[in-house]
């Protein structure tokens, strides 16, 4: 393909810069626009024409599936390549229903990604979806984002609500520094707020809403199963701090378990 106009939507600034540098070196590429949030991606799709969309599914403000839906509804949809840490079968199948061109699971080979961007799609009848093809991947050492996403998926926290993204960032910060959980209002909420350019009070309310949504969905058995023992009943909801600490502790314990298993090997 020639004179490609490409849109890249990914929250990882380092990866965005790497992709932009790799693509702009190619003579086939006319322009490459990079954005960090789902809302920015929607704005770009509404105001410009793109030949290729490189899309992470886990985006702030608006999730990747909303961007997928909008991209597919355009009069001339771009070739969509998903690049994400999510590898669950149901997520892959959901993407497949949108007719994506390729699905890369992070971490991936940059040369392979660029090749898929540049290549011309095979001609297929208009009523058919392009086949979903998954490349070979590196050994499955899951990223922290994917591990958190797996927990949230199991307990029933939907990715499209603000609290999902705030809660994920809160867990990551506590995972990195367990002492922050003891200063949740003075350090944790303000720290998350700075990442998303919002206020600590909005972070607190959105996280509370996300936890209440999970409990309203009634997946209490899943919640207790994740942590390995019965913690809560249907009428018992954890505080924001308790839930964040539980998830962070689970991730840390899993790390320790893997470390011990690798030593045993």
Give percent of the chain with pLDDT exceeding 70: 80
Range of weakest confidence among 1-5, 92-96, 157-161, 234-238: 234-238
Asked if residue 175 has pLDDT above 90, the reply is no
Return the structure tokens found at 225: 């199963």
Give percent of the chain with pLDDT exceeding 90: 35
On whether both 110 and 188 belong to a single domain, the answer is no
Q: In what order do the strands lie in the sheet with 102-105?
A: 29-35, 4-9, 52-55, 79-84, 102-105
**Ramachandran class of 24: left when φ > 0, alpha when ψ lies in -120 to 50, beta otherwise:** alpha
Q: How many other C-beta atoms can be found within 10 angstroms of the C-beta atom of residue 263?
A: 7
pLDDT of residue 145: 83
Return the structure tokens found at 145: 């984002």
pLDDT of residue 82: 92
pLDDT of residue 238: 80
* Domain membership of residue 166 as a residue range: 144-264
**Max mean pLDDT range (7-21, 127-141, 146-160, 209-223):** 7-21
Asked if residue 233 has pLDDT above 90, the reply is no
On whether both 155 and 238 belong to a single domain, the answer is yes
At 211, is the secondary structure helix, strand, or coil? helix
Asked if residue 264 has pLDDT above 50, the reply is no
On whether both 96 and 185 belong to a single domain, the answer is no
Q: Is the dihedral of CA 118, 121, 65, 108 positive or negative?
A: negative
Q: What is the CATH number of the domain that holds 149?
A: 1.10.10.10
> Per the structure, how many domains does the chain have?
2
Residues 6+ apart with CB under 8 A from 177: none
Q: Is 89 in contact with 132 (CB distance < 8 Å)?
A: no
Reference 247, options 157, 140, 139, 141; nearest CA is 157
Whether 90 is covered by a domain: the verdict is yes
């Amino acid at each position: 393909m020639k004179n490609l106009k490409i849109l890249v939507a990914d929250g990882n600034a380092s990866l965005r810069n790497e992709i932009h540098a790799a693509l702009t070196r190619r003579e086939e590429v006319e322009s490459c626009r990079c954005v960090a949030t789902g809302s920015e991606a929607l704005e770009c799709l509404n105001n410009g024409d793109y030949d290729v969309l490189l899309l992470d599914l886990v985006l702030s403000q608006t999730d990747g599936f909303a961007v997928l839906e909008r991209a597919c509804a355009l009069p001339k949809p771009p070739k969509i390549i998903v690049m994400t840490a999510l590898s669950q079968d149901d997520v892959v199948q959901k993407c497949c229903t949108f007719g994506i061109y390729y699905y890369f699971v992070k971490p991936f080979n940059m040369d392979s990604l660029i090749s898929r961007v540049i290549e011309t799609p095979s001609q297929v009848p208009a009523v058919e979806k392009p086949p979903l093809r998954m490349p070979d991947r590196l050994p499955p050492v899951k990223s922290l984002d994917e591990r958190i996403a797996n927990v949230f998926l199991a307990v029933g926290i939907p990715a499209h609500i603000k609290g999902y993204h705030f809660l994920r960032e809160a867990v990551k910060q506590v995972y990195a520094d367990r002492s922050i959980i003891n200063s949740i209002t003075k350090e944790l909420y303000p720290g998350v707020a700075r990442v998303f350019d919002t206020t600590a009070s909005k972070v607190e309310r959105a996280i509370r809403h996300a936890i209440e949504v999970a409990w309203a969905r009634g997946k209490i058995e899943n919640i207790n199963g994740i942590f390995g023992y019965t913690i809560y009943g249907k009428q018992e909801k954890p505080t924001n701090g308790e839930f964040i600490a539980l998830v962070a502790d689970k991730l840390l314990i899993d790390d320790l378990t893997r470390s011990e298993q690798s030593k045993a090997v």
